[in-house]
Chains A and B, each alone.
Chain A
Amino acid sequence: MSGTYDVIVVGGGIVGSACAWECARRGLKVLMVEAGIVGGGATAAGMGHLVVMDDSEAQFALTAYSCQLWRELAAELPGSVEHEVCGTLWVAADEWEMGEVERKARYYEERGVAVEVIGGKRLEQLEPNLRAGMAGALRVPGDAVIYPPAATHWMSERAGEAGATVWRGVEVRQILEEGAVELAGGAVVEAFVVVNAAGATAGRLTPGLPVRGRKGHLAITDRYPGFARHQLIELGYLKSAHGEEGDSVAFNIQPRKTGQMLVGSSRQYGAEGGEVEPGILGRMLRRAVAYMPGLRLLNVVRVWTGERAATPDKLPLIGPVPGRSSIWLATGHEGLGITTSLGTARLLGERLVGGDPEIPYKPYDPGRFAWVPVAGQTGAGVGAW
């Protein structure tokens, strides 16, 4: 197995698949190499929420841009992707959080994203299973939900149609300095550019990378159509997602097209292995029940975990490794990889061919961190920052 490609994308998650498709679409000769199943890693473990976020200007820019790209794609998505524009409700439990709703509403409106401030009474009508007495919510009607493994599979097929080669079940042992990859069997495949899109394991291939794993748990119920109608997230979510080093949980419910409820979420650094951890699972479920008491009696069919690729500033790494023009990154998306996969691919594609991206690329450029890529052999795993 050897030959020369323009681009080798390492990792066939939703980010890798979107990048492979984007590059192939631009006429580049692309190889995507996935060690396991296309869309089978963090992509399959995530919720599949297409959401505009406002933690920072750069995060807003990338998520809003990406949501726009998803809207443009919506008509083409096959039924298996389960695309549904259910909207997001950011739930305010008290008056203080309601103040946050107002601030958030202004922020989104000033930047052209349609939102609606919902009072407590109206919220009870929209989502009768929420605990009574909530202060209100911010509704973002354009946010949507998809089933990420099917979306990823579809993107990888579109990449194939555009001329990309896709290898599944092939492990990359090493990304070589000169723009080539060494496979687990020892074979070397060459390309002008290698894109490391290996998610939370990206640090094994690019040692020194400022990315580490942030584990999450999710539970899914049996079918209860209409139990929740929007993606529901507590406003305190931001504290959980962006706060302290410790383990955190937040109320985050997603209604699936199947009528099932996806219940989250949790965040843990340094939690080794994919095991379900009863302690944090219990905390996560109790948090959910505090917002939606009726959840108690719903049947759960399955619980699982996944590993998000987190960076210190909560923004992804998109672009060349400092000082290594042949090694590029498309990783570090933490919990937003499903949403920002399309925006990431556009940015990467445009930069690769020397074009002018539609949004500023600097905030996501790997050069923003003062880090030195470790030369030589395979790294020691997902590193510390």
Chain B
Amino acid sequence: MSRQRRDEAYDVVVVGGGPAGVAAATAAAESGKRVGLIDESPWLGGQIWRGEAERPHSEKARRWLKRLEAAGVTVRVGVSVVGGDGAGWLVAEDRRGAWRIGYEALILATGARDRFLPFPGWTAPHVMGVGGLQTLVKSGWPVAGKRVAIVGSGPLLWALAEGVTAAGGVVVVLAEQASWESVRRFGAGLIRYPAKLVQAIGLRARLAGVPYWCGWWPAVTRSEGDWAVVTVTDGTSRRELKCDLVAFGFGLVPNLELARLLGCGTRDEPGWEGVEVGLDQETGLSGVYAAGEATGVKGAEAALVEGRVAGYAAAGRRAEAEALYGLRDRWRRFGAMLAQAFALRAELKTLADDDTIVCRCEDVTYGRLRTWRTAREAKLMTRCGMGPCQGRVCGAACRFLWSWEPDRVRPPATVARLETLMELGTGGNGG
């Protein structure tokens, strides 16, 4: 009955295998440290480079993953971190059992997830998240000939449109809630980021046939026979589009559960959430660093530089870290530009009606939630956020809708087997 627990220890442990984590692990390993890189999904790459290890699409991803391998980083995928003591040990688990992972320095590169905002019909079977559909498309799920409506906000909508188009699907509309002025200003700002400009122009060319409507957002979706019908609005008029699938997402929110659980300080202003870090990406906890979207959503380029800074700093290579500060500032400014351009409009707070589900795990509707004043009160009285996702989906929605402060984080950082939690208290030497 008793299953074997595995113990490992590294100089530097990196949690999260997206761009920030890959860059951090590489920089630390190239500096001579023994590095372990942990990711809960079955592959490296995070959200943005998902599937790149198997079937590379991006030259940059391919180069980084090769460099990671050459640097001799030990990769542990399918391993999710459950908690830790913030001072040298993590407890994690995979399908087979519990792990204890020791470190001298820890780098949190836990990335970000889609932000979902409730509107009537968003939980219907033909409606899915932008990230979810992107994953399906990348793994070869057939979208050829399918009509797809993409609604919400941010550059991930373009990336999905490109993926769907390349796989032979038809994007019937790409509705961006940000205004034309805002998106145009962002486009003009790209002049300072030539690589991004080239990327954007290329993307624009590949998406030439896709109707791109700025200042439009979803109002409701419903089923009509085999079709899905999505209604989009610009606040005055409404249009209905028939399609097979609706993909939606309203930007990203950082994954802060582990950082908060370990006791790292976080910023909680809506839209600017992230782990607080110093110049060298170190958090308030000595020896614990954070990099990438976890410190605030700002895109893959900033994540790569922050990852490198954190990796060098964790390895004690101060000069190498400092040499990257200028580049990092540049990409952080780009991130700020993104955040400003795609800031969510207030109208999105009024999409749900009283019957719209907000918490999918516990089937809690907007109407049952709107009478409460705090997240904790709503949680206790309606079970909102008490299900298996522990508020990872509805928490960000409630924050946007009612500015509720997040309830305090408690272990485990992610749903974990009871036997894994038994390991939390066994002490550094595994006694």
Contact = CB atoms under 8 A, between A and B. Distances in A.
Given A296-B1, A296-B418, A298-B417, A37 B425 contact: no
B425 A279 contact: yes
Interface residues of A, number: 37
A73 interface: no
A37 B380 contact: yes
Contacts of B422: 282, 285-286, 289
Nearest to B91: A278
B12 interface: no
Nearest to B423: A282
Given A40-B380, A296-B417, A301 B425 contact: no
B425 A283 contact: yes
B426 A296 contact: no
Given A149-B381, A276-B411, A278-B85, A219 B421 contact: yes
B85 A37 contact: no
Interface string A36-56: 010110001000000000000
B181 interface: no
A295 B418 contact: yes
B390 interface: yes
Contact of B410 (A222, A286, A295, A304): A304
Contact of A297 (B83, B390, B417, B424): B417
Given A221-B418, A296-B1, A304-B410, A282 B425 contact: yes
B277 to A, nearest CB: 23
Contact of B425 (A221, A278, A298, A302): A278
A302 B256 CA distance: 16
A153 B380 CA distance: 10
Contacts of B421: 219, 281-282, 285, 300, 303
Given A44-B380, A293-B1, A300 B417 contact: yes
A297 B421 CA distance: 11
B98 to A, nearest CB: 10
B83 A37 contact: no
A102 interface: no
Interface string A267-310: 00000000011111111011011000101111111111000000
A263 interface: yes
A189 B426 CA distance: 51
B380 A39 contact: yes
Contact of B415 (A80, A222, A282, A296): A222
B257 to A, nearest CB: 12
Nearest to B412: A300
Interface in B77-117: 83, 85
A299 B83 CA distance: 15
Contacts of A164: none
Given A219-B418, A296-B419, A281 B380 contact: no
A149 B380 contact: yes
Contacts of A277: 425
A40 B377 contact: yes
Contacts of A279: 425, 427
Interface in B136-180: none
A289 B418 CA distance: 9
Interface residues of B, number: 29
B395 to A, nearest CB: 13
Nearest to B380: A149
Contacts of B374: 37
Contacts of A258: 383
A222 B83 contact: no
A181 interface: no
Interface string B30-68: 000000000000000000000000000000000000000
B376 A40 contact: yes
Interface in B287-335: none
A292 B145 CA distance: 53
Contacts of B85: 278
A299 B415 contact: yes
A233 interface: no
Contacts of A221: 418
A281 B425 contact: yes
B209 interface: no
Contacts of B410: 276, 302-304
B291 to A, nearest CB: 26
Contact of A301 (B83, B415, B426): B415
Contacts of B388: 222, 299, 301
A214 B240 CA distance: 60
B416 interface: yes
Interface in B199-246: none
B386 interface: yes
B387 interface: yes
A285 B418 contact: yes
B320 to A, nearest CB: 36
Interface in B379-431: 380-381, 383, 386-388, 390, 410-412, 415-419, 421-427
B1 A37 contact: no
Nearest to A221: B418
Nearest to A260: B386
Contacts of A303: 410-412, 421
A98 interface: no
Interface string A1-42: 000000000000000000000000000000000000101100
A283 B424 CA distance: 10
A297 B423 CA distance: 13
A175 interface: no
A307 to B, nearest CB: 15
A150 interface: yes
A82 to B, nearest CB: 10
B380 A263 contact: no
A224 to B, nearest CB: 11
Contacts of A288: 418
B419 A297 contact: yes
A282 B1 CA distance: 18
Contacts of A153: 381
A219 B422 CA distance: 11
Given A39-B380, A153-B381, A299 B390 contact: no
Given A298-B418, A301-B390, A303-B410, A37 B424 contact: no
Contacts of B411: 276, 278, 281, 303
The winner among B83, B380, B387, B410 for most chain A CB atoms within 10 A is B380
Contacts of A289: 418-419, 422
B218 to A, nearest CB: 30
Closest 9 CB pairs of A and B: A282-B425, A278-B425, A278-B424, A279-B425, A296-B419, A149-B380, A285-B422, A37-B377, A299-B415
Given A44-B380, A221-B418, A282-B422, 6 more contacts: A278-B411, A278-B424, A295-B418, A297-B418, A299-B415, A303-B410
12 contacts: A277-B425, A278-B425, A282-B423, A283-B425, A285-B418, A285-B421, A293-B1, A297-B419, A299-B418, A301-B388, A301-B415, A303-B410
